[in-house]
DNA sequence: TATCAACTGTTAGTCAGTAACACTTTGTCC
DNA sequence: GGACAAAGTGTTACTGACTAACAGTTGATA
């Protein structure tokens, strides 16, 4: 699972990847996503057009970061067996968000704002949401040694909906509100859908 | 709200639009979405490349149909004032789906399958989901003469999640199950998220 | 050091989507 | 019925995302 070997080659690759991603985000935030071309990003990162696409399958992919998913899966697996699936997701997601906010708050805010204000990226984000939903449902089923049921999938979808609503509200308020609290309120709303 | 005038011009436009859409779906289903070019669709419909984009803003847009949205909004507005928001959405959505299934079942199945199996279209569908969520929340708020609250947005998101899970399950089972029943089960799951 | 594999750049191509301009058709006003 | 403005369409040419092929370079390895 860990990197094969910290050889010179691997180091260079990691550095190049990071450079491309950082320059891309910088240019997107400065000039807008659509107004930034892949050629500009590649030039800024000191690589060619083709190398960009060897590191990222598309211009959209450079924005997303799946690094949070494993964190959440771990948190789900770590919940006590006595909790029901909704409580599990609530604790795991709120804790996960809290942790990310503690270290990456500004970056998360900037990136989420970028995604929400760029139509092409919004679509991409939701496509990821589909994968994340499966991830959640799988993790919940594995924790209970059961199968992925229809109800579990609905639960995972609903939670993602609440999470995305919380993120949207957070960005619309320019990050003034506390994101973990907003997410928690989202779970409250889920728990009392008929009010 | 109705068409401005049934002049010759409007008739031709409607016919062209329909021709483009039908040829596009036919070609997508026959050869796949990615393997079908806009030029092919335009040629099949007897128009030029440019005319295609004058009728549809993108290749993806030709697949989606927003015709169901107004139906749902009407159904939401028509619910008795005594019902809570979740019950309103449940009745409206299940009735709407039932109506669509009664008339368009095969087309809906084919189109949904196409969307779910084409990554580019999946993203688009979810982007629409974002707009639909606002639509639902607005309709609910308008019905209650209130504002769009955070809880209403979460509710709308959760319902859309359940709906999309039902659609996915329906397509995965090749349309054997009854879609309205699946959607109803989705609402059941929403009403008992902690089980 | 010699060799092989991996990495990269160059070139040239496809396809989605846009802009500009000229041409045809339709609705309308005398 | 004919002139005129507006709407609709096709042609051409362009940008930008993305891919395939090939050649050159650089890191790993013996």
* Stated pTM of the model: 0.90
Return the structure tokens found at A12.
């260079």
CATH of residue B40's domain is 1.10.10.60
Confidence bin at B130 (pLDDT 50/70/90): confident
Residue-wise pLDDT for A9-22, tens only, equals: 888 999 999 999 99
B12 & B50 share domain: yes
* pLDDT for res A161: 93
B99 & B190 share domain: yes
Chain D bases near protein CB atoms (7 A cut-off): 7-13, 16-21, 27-29
CB atoms B127 and A130 under 8 Å? no
**Final residue in a domain of this structure, among A27, A62, A97:** A62
**Contact residues, chain B, for A190 at CB < 8 Å:** 154, 158, 193
A45 & A127 share domain: no
Residue pair A136/A89 in contact by the 8 Å Cβ criterion: yes
> How far off is chain B from A122, nearest CA to CA, in Å?
6
Question: Which residue in the block uniquely carries the two structure tokens 């990197």?
Answer: A3
* pLDDT for res A131: 85
CA dist list (Å): A67 to A64, A71, A96 = 9, 7, 12
B15 & B83 share domain: no
Residue pair A20/A46 in contact by the 8 Å Cβ criterion: no
**Final residue in a domain of this structure, among B14, B40, B62:** B62
CA-based nearest residue to A32, from A6, A8, A63, A3:
A63
CB atoms B189 and A160 under 8 Å? no
Per the structure, the complete domain to which residue B16 belongs is given by 1-62
A37 & A57 share domain: yes
Confidence bin at B124 (pLDDT 50/70/90): confident
Kindly tell me if the per-residue pLDDT of B23 is higher than 80. yes
B173 & B84 share domain: yes
B51 & B5 share domain: yes
Q: Is A36 left (phi over 0), alpha (psi -120 to 50) or beta?
A: beta
* pLDDT for res B64: 87
> How far off is chain B from A105, nearest CA to CA, in Å?
22
CA dist list (Å): B13 to A45, B7, B9, B49, B168 = 48, 10, 6, 16, 34
* pLDDT for res B52: 98
**Contact residues, chain B, for A151 at CB < 8 Å:** 189, 192, 195
* pLDDT for res A128: 67
Kindly determine whether the C-beta of residue B30 is less than 7 Å away from any atom of nucleic acid strand C.
Answer: no
Tell me what percent of chain B is helix, strand and coil, each rounded to the nearest 5: 75, 0, 25
User: Phi and psi (nearest 5°) for A37?
Assistant: -95, 160
Q: Residues by CB within 7 A of strand D: list them.
A: A 5, 7-10, 12, 36-39, 49-50, 53, 57-60; B 9, 12-13, 16, 46-51, 54-55
CB atoms B189 and A85 under 8 Å? no
User: Using CA atoms, how far apart are residues B92 and B74, in angstroms rounded to an integer?
Assistant: 9
B44 & B79 share domain: no
**Final residue in a domain of this structure, among B44, B62, B80:** B62
> How far off is chain B from A22, nearest CA to CA, in Å?
25
Residue pair A105/A167 in contact by the 8 Å Cβ criterion: no
For chain B, what is the largest distance between any 2 Cα atoms, rounded to a whole number of angstroms? 59
Helix and strand numbers (H, E) in chain A are 8, 0
B116 & B147 share domain: yes
- The separation, in Å, between residue B194 CA and nucleotide C7 C1' comes to 52
- The separation, in Å, between residue A34 CA and nucleotide C7 C1' comes to 29
Three-state SS for A34?
Answer: coil
Chain C bases near protein CB atoms (7 A cut-off): 6-12, 15-20, 26-28
Domain count for chain A, please give it: 2
User: Using CA atoms, how far apart are residues B115 and A29, in angstroms rounded to an integer?
Assistant: 31
- The separation, in Å, between residue A154 CA and nucleotide D10 C1' comes to 49
User: Using CA atoms, how far apart are residues A126 and A64, in angstroms rounded to an integer?
Assistant: 11
A50 & A84 share domain: no
**Nearest DNA or RNA nucleotide to A39 (CA to C1'):** D16
For the segment A149-172, the average pLDDT, to the nearest whole number, is 95
Q: Chain B residue with minimal CA distance to A90?
A: B194
Contacts of A184 (CB under 8 A, 6+ apart): A90, A94
CB atoms A157 and B155 under 8 Å? no
Q: Chain A residue with minimal CA distance to B125?
A: A123
**Nearest DNA or RNA nucleotide to A8 (CA to C1'):** D27
B14 & B82 share domain: no
Residue-wise pLDDT for B54-69, tens only, equals: 999 999 999 988 788 8
CATH of residue B151's domain is 1.10.357.10
> How far off is chain A from B25, nearest CA to CA, in Å?
21
User: Using CA atoms, how far apart are residues A15 and B194, in angstroms rounded to an integer?
Assistant: 45
Residue-wise pLDDT for A99-150, tens only, equals: 999 999 999 999 999 999 998 888 777 666 788 899 999 999 999 999 999 9
Tell me what percent of chain A is helix, strand and coil, each rounded to the nearest 5: 75, 0, 25
User: Phi and psi (nearest 5°) for A57?
Assistant: -70, -15
- Long-range (24+ apart) CB contacts under 8 A made by A137-141 are A139/A72, A139/A73, A139/A76, A139/A77, A140/A76, A140/A85, A140/A88, A140/A89
Among B126, B182, B193, the residue with its CB nearest the CB of A129 is B126
CA-based nearest residue to B71, from B93, B104, B101:
B93
Question: Which residue in the block uniquely carries the two structure tokens 């050869």?
Answer: B31
- The separation, in Å, between residue A34 CA and nucleotide C24 C1' comes to 36
B97 & B152 share domain: yes
Residue-wise pLDDT for A15-62, tens only, equals: 999 999 999 999 999 999 999 999 999 999 999 999 999 999 999 999
Crossing angle of the two packed helices B38-45 and B8-31, in degrees rounded to 10: 130
Q: Chain B residue with minimal CA distance to A134?
A: B165
Q: Chain B residue with minimal CA distance to A194?
A: B86
> How far off is chain A from B26, nearest CA to CA, in Å?
25
Three-state SS for B195?
Answer: coil
Kindly tell me if the per-residue pLDDT of B154 is higher than 90. yes
* pLDDT for res B1: 39
């Amino acid at each position: 699972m860990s990197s094969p070997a910290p050889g010179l080659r691997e180091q260079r690759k990691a550095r190049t990847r990071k450079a491309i991603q950082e320059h891309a985000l910088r240019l997107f935030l400065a000039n807008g996503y659509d107004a930034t071309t892949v050629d500009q990003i590649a030039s800024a990162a000191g690589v060619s057009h083709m190398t960009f696409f060897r590191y990222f399958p598309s211009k959209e992919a450079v924005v997303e970061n799946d690094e949070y998913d494993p964190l959440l899966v771990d948190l789900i697996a770590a919940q006590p067996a006595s909790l029901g699936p909704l409580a599990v997701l609530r604790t795991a997601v709120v804790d996960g968000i809290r942790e990310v906010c503690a270290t990456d708050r500004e970056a998360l805010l900037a990136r989420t704002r970028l995604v929400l204000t760029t139509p092409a990226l919004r679509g991409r984000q939701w496509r990821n949401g589909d994968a994340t939903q499966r991830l959640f449902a799988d993790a919940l089923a594995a924790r209970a040694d059961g199968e992925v049921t229809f109800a579990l999938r609905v639960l995972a979808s609903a939670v993602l909906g609440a999470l995305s609503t919380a993120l949207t509200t957070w960005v619309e308020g320019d990050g003034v509100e506390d994101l973990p609290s907003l997410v928690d309120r989202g779970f409250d709303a889920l728990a009392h859908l008929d009010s």
